[in-house]
Chain A
Amino acid sequence: MDLAPALQLHDVSKRYGARWALVHLSLSLRRGAALLLTGHNGSGKTTLLRVLSTVVRPSSGRVEVLGVDAGAEPEKVRSQVGLLSHANFVYEDLSGLENLEVLARLLGMRVSAAPAALERVSLSPKDDRPIRTYSAGMRRRLALARLFLKQPAVALLDEPFVELDPAGVSELETRIRELRAAGTTLVLATHHIEQGLQLCTDRLHLEQGRSIAA
């Protein structure tokens, strides 16, 4: 039985006021593939990832994730997609473990899964300091832990290596390979093209919201 592609964009455009962030973008990515998304700052990479995650609704066009129309059934798509963005989506007054426990409860998962997700990114579940005391790198690791806790079928990573120390970068590369080995479809937006090419199978280059042959 043919399965629907992991991601399909049909002539998707997104406008913010007078500015077009995405212009007539079409894309098909098979399940289990890893797409490297490149482009200059402001080329539309982040907007594309946010459209795929259903956080942002496109101005026109259709998005399908694992065969599901994201416009018609966004909640169904969100259960299968994880987004690592520039923001970390955490509550400053809660500890790392507490943040993950909130997420676990909202996802209907066992709260006991939270400590393992923290340890996977080398954060201690026993650290009860609030997030506001964390360094930038630790916040990034916590954002990764959120992603791993969710175990999405499609993982969207927007500049994941930013703010990580060399050990953190190496660990993340290992985790990305683990995700791919588990069959997760990946979209990785990064300026580190050489690093991205080692981790990905396909590439999409954006310029001013349009797809350009890389």
Chain B
Amino acid sequence: MNALVFFSLATLLLFSFALGPDTALLRRNAGGYLWLALLLSSVLALGESFRVERENAALEGLRLIPVDSRAIFLSKGLANAALLVGLGVLLVPVLVGLLDVRLVLPWSRLFGLTVLGCLAIAAPGTLYGAIASHARARDVLLPLLLFPILIPALVAAAKATALVFEGDPMLQFDPWMLLLACFDLIYWALGVVLFPRVIEE
């Protein structure tokens, strides 16, 4: 967890350094930086999630127990999502301090958005983490598989976060949240269906 927190903080810092001292620009893009930091950190978290199962074939040990494989997916996915939500909650004050953003919409909307967005990362992330864990180039394969899939969720989450920080006069927040919710529904359902086949030999 410590490594994850430091990595995500370093990522935020790097974004702010890379774009220079234009504070208005930084503030406008703060939502995007938050979700990019979470996305890049998720690769570490998801990889680690299956590293512990790969050692000593622990995942195979789980499969020897009369437990539905879908339960393994749901528990790993929810644990990954919870970890990312915790990370997101930690990063928001850093954004406020670093980039001088303010919450115009209520914080409960930002929290709900964080939960939906992290669920969107966790579902395909857990599925692809299981796929990549069998591959030799697993550290490269996971982001290669995951990032293209997450583009709609990333756009929705970043746009909605920008509305939280800058205001929502055109009432666009709810449609973006709906897009995220639909993404979550589709990929959690896909994960439940496909995960047993992924871990089966």
Contacts and interface: CB of A to CB of B under 8 A. Distances in A.
Interface of A: 50, 53, 55-57, 75-76, 78-79, 81-83, 85, 87-93, 103, 106-107, 131, 139, 146
Nearest first, the 3 closest Cβ-Cβ pairs linking A and B are: A89-B61, A87-B57, A79-B66
B62 A90 contact: no
B66 A91 contact: no
Contacts, number: 56
Interface magnitude class on chain B: 10 to 19
A76 B66 contact: yes
Contacts of B55: 91-92
Given A55-B201, A92-B52, A87 B60 contact: yes
A75 B66 contact: yes
B201 A106 contact: no
22 contacts: A55-B64, A75-B68, A76-B66, A78-B65, A78-B66, A82-B64, A88-B56, A88-B57, A89-B56, A89-B57, A89-B58, A89-B60, A90-B58, A91-B52, A91-B55, A91-B56, A92-B56, A103-B61, A106-B65, A106-B67, A107-B65, A107-B66
A91 B58 contact: yes
B155 to A, nearest CB: 37
B125 to A, nearest CB: 21
A38 to B, nearest CB: 24
B201 A56 contact: yes
Interface string B56-90: 11101111111110000000000000000000000
Contacts of A89: 56-58, 60-61, 64
Contact of B64 (A78, A88, A90, A139): A78
Contacts of B67: 75, 106
Nearest to A53: B64
A106 B58 CA distance: 13
A82 B65 CA distance: 9
A75 B64 CA distance: 8
Given A106-B65, A146-B61, 19 more contacts: A55-B60, A55-B201, A75-B66, A75-B67, A76-B66, A78-B66, A79-B66, A81-B64, A82-B64, A85-B57, A87-B61, A88-B56, A90-B61, A91-B55, A91-B56, A92-B52, A103-B61, A103-B65, A139-B56
